[in-house]
Structure 1
């Protein structure tokens, strides 16, 4: 009986997989602001952070109205995710409460489809983490003590702790952090990749499937002029001028990764872009290398 159930589940998985592949082929060329969709597992450290903020309760306790906040993040190890501090401060007290947030790992979907829900059940039956959908609560939010939204989001970095360890899976893996000893990482002109659920057009909403975009590291001197920015040694700029390419609303906290040697390495975290023309200016990222001592002090002690 158990063998029959497992065989039936596997058969359905194969059918759904074939249908999904057939249905998404034409979508791979859909563009964000210069980007494109990618397959699940391509960037196994990418995390979707979602907060559910209740705005109205029936009888004072039963939620009947709510809205969502979204940010990206990057998995550092099985318990910690790195993201942007402003994700938790720009929407009142609700965004600052860990219990309102959860992390989705190993996915490219903003919300699980019926097929993904089914695969999650099959993954539990077969004890196969690669089929599972992982939605894990947050039990701690740690903002950098120097964060200041009034100073162009200076020290815009935060760590969040998962309420339970992330799984062992080929689709859920931590990112490599940069070495503090490498002085020229990333170098100006180097092509790097950021990805997230940001809008596809200026003023749009988050998208249903994550997208990636390749951006060159931009001159820090020119970027500082564009944004009247100080302390550029703790920031990175990546992108173009007037190329219709860039990050957008909803990409906050998402990782910028660059090749270092033979592996992708975390270089930056999306902080902000031009408010009115994000597709026409480079984006500003928090330079992760500048925060390694702070990251290690939190991750290794809490």
Structure 2
């Protein structure tokens, strides 16, 4: 005669959970605040996502029972530890593939492969602006770079590093669609964003990697803003009347509160903008960098926080650089990428 073992007699369920006996096994029904097979893992409910981003490597979302879960950017899967994000393929967004030991970067060359989301926008084959790789078919730039011009005059180059050398990593594509944000205001520079669709996909890899976008409807904005410094890159002019840099530059800058930015620039800074730079001047994105990325590293992954919009002159004292605040435009960006 067969007798089923009652596993519940051994009290396998912890933290006040209820044990339900099944044929040859059991399930634990956890009390709120606990999870895991034996309800032995506490959900970090006390502060949820607001404390250390819920310890999540990427994004954190609150659940109705006041607990929270971690989730990852597209192209990553959540590790069994329920916190870490594992890249699923080559060229997962926001991760540089080339091995490089970072040094302090103040207006120095961006080593090849370390700014792989940087793209170059040319108009009639002349360098006009920076742009940002979002996928193999879409790049983002500033609206004023493409305002009232047909798509046919533009090309985008990715995998570019030294403008004066053919490095055999460059991929050039025609632009077939220009979508300027519907609220773009030329005089105030508000909502200064445009999406560009390429005529055929670029090949992602060592030197071409999309940047990650922050998640909508998560507390990740708060986590990103806790990282004080962001990095801007581009081939813009190195000084006010100087030549454009031949080699891609990058620069680490502290972000500046809007009130302080308004105070020191005496300019109309809207909530769709963010400021970065040093009050003493001397280091900032310069002309020709419009449309380029301002990126922020959270743990091991880089996320897009701003798009270079404008600044009064190059690195003038008390004049911060102004960027489009990308977090306000995530729905618009994602809608275009999925529907056009």
TMscore range, shorter length: 0.7 to 0.9
Match of 2:161 among 99, 105, 108: 108
After alignment, is 182-191 or 135-144 more displaced?
182-191
Question: Pairwise CA RMSD of aligned residues?
Answer: 2.2
CA distance in 2, matches of 1:136, 1:215: 31
CA distance in 1, matches of 2:317, 2:107: 11
| Residue in 1 that maps onto 2:173 | 136
| Residue in 2 that maps onto 1:289 | 327
Aligned to 2:152, the other structure's residue is in SS state helix
C-alpha distance 195-77 of structure 1, shift in aligned 2 (>3 A): same
Aligned to 2:280, the other structure's residue is in SS state coil
| Residue in 2 that maps onto 1:97 | 150
Match of 2:138 among 77, 80, 86: 80
Q: TM-score, normalised by structure 2?
A: 0.65
Displacement of 1:287 after TM fit? 0.7
CA distance in 2, matches of 1:105, 1:249: 20
Are the equivalent residues in 1 in contact too, given 2:258–2:275 (CA < 8 A)? Answer: yes
Q: TM-score, normalised by structure 1?
A: 0.72
Displacement of 1:214 after TM fit? 0.4
Are the equivalent residues in 2 in contact too, given 1:246–1:279 (CA < 8 A)? Answer: no
Aligned to 1:78, the other structure's residue is in SS state coil
Aligned to 1:232, the other structure's residue is in SS state coil
Displacement of 1:231 after TM fit? 6.1
| Residue in 2 that maps onto 1:47 | 119
C-alpha distance 276-193 of structure 1, shift in aligned 2 (>3 A): closer
Which of the pair is proportionally richer in helix?
1
After alignment, is 275-284 or 193-202 more displaced?
275-284
Match of 2:199 among 137, 149, 163: 163
Aligned to 2:196, the other structure's residue is in SS state strand
Larger Rg: 2
* CA shift digits 1:217-262 (9 cap, x unpaired): 1111111223344563211111111231111111101101102243
Aligned to 1:217, the other structure's residue is in SS state strand
- Higher RCO (CA < 8 A, seq sep 6+): 1
Instruction: Kindly tell me the number of residue pairs found equivalent between the two proteins.
Output: 235
Structure 1: gaps spanning 5 or more residues = 1-28, 54-67, 121-131
C-alpha distance 297-248 of structure 1, shift in aligned 2 (>3 A): same
CA distance in 2, matches of 1:254, 1:285: 9
Structure 2: gaps spanning 5 or more residues = 1-102
